[in-house]
Every structure is written in C-alpha cells, then in structure tokens.
Amino acid sequence: MEKKFIRVRSKKDVIISASLIIAGLVLALIPESVDVNLGGYALIAVGVSLACILKTNYKNVETQQMYIKKEFYFSGDKKTHILSALKTCSGSIDLSQDRKGQALMLKVYYCPKSHNAYMQLYEYVPHQYEPCSQVYEVDKVENLLK
C-alpha cells in the first residue's frame, strides 16, 4: 500500500514554514539588539528546515487526490473482528480500543473530500509490522470507524 501513496506538503505545512520565515525576517530586520536579530536568524533557519522536511499529507499516485494517514493499534484478539469488518464494510471497528494493545495496526489513508479510504491491517511479528490483510477500499469510512 505504501507504493500507492507519496508524501507531500499540506497547506498547513506551508503556512507553518512561511510564518516562521516571515517572523524571522521581521525580527532580523528590526534595528534592535543583536539578541533579537539572532533570534530572527534562528527562526529563519527553523522555517527553512521545516520547509524542507515537513510533509504530512499523502497523495494517491493514480488519482492525485490528497489523503491523511491515520494508524490505530489494537490487541491481538481483535484480529478476526477487524478482518470481518473490513471485508463486509457492514460492521464497525470500535476505536475506543485504540492503544489498548500493540499486536495489530490498522493503517487508514482517508480522503476528506471524497470520504473514501484505503485500509490495511498489519500484525506485529518480531521487530516489525507485516501485512495480514489485503488493501480494502472503503467508500464510506464513517460507517466502519466508530
């Protein structure tokens, strides 16, 4: 599933980086003490670094739609329930069980505009998570994740 999505910058990432750079420029250009100017240069450096590093959204390579990635963790005894809910899309997955265990990880790539999602269940084997289900495309994810 990871090959289907690439990491891209969101509007929020660009706004954060730009605001830090602008605030740094303002502080660097103010004819105040050297400490204020150095603080401005530090803000500029942080803003440029974040502009290069920060990528929080995902883009579907095929459809070019923007997705948000969420990960939910469950205990191992929920495996059959989650798999049956993913296959039929008629059941629901109780997210209140989130963080109760680390044996299973459900990766969800969700598109807020079209309300569809891609989901895959992973099982923890020593030192890494391995896929234990196929990738499911869900049109109405709100019905599944409650």
Enumerate the domain spans of the chain.
2-59, 65-144
- Residue 106: strand, helix, or coil: strand
- Are 55 and 8 within 8 A, CB to CB? yes
How far is 18 from 51, CA to CA, in rounded Å? 8
Question: Any idea which of 21-30, 44-53, 81-90, 110-119 has the lowest mean pLDDT?
Answer: 81-90
Q: What is the pLDDT of residues 101-124, one digit of tens each?
A: 788 998 989 888 888 888 899 999
Cα 38 from chain centroid? 34
Q: Which residue has the tokens 């803000």?
A: 43
Task: Please tell me the chain's helix, strand, coil percentages from 3-state DSSP, rounded to the nearest 5.
Answer: 40, 30, 30
Cβ neighbors of 28 (< 8 A, separation 6 or more) are 37, 40, 41, 44
If pLDDT is split at 50, 70 and 90, which confidence band does 53 have? very high
If pLDDT is split at 50, 70 and 90, which confidence band does 89 have? confident
How far is 82 from 36, CA to CA, in rounded Å? 54
What pTM was estimated for this model as a whole? 0.75
- Residue 127: strand, helix, or coil: coil
Q: Cβ-count burial of 60 within 10 angstroms (0-12 exposed, 13-18 middle, 19+ buried)?
A: middle
Closest CA to 137 of 33, 63, 75: 63
Residue 71 vs residue 2, higher pLDDT: 71
If pLDDT is split at 50, 70 and 90, which confidence band does 74 have? confident
Residue 41 vs residue 114, higher pLDDT: 41
- Six-digit token string for 11: 């509007």
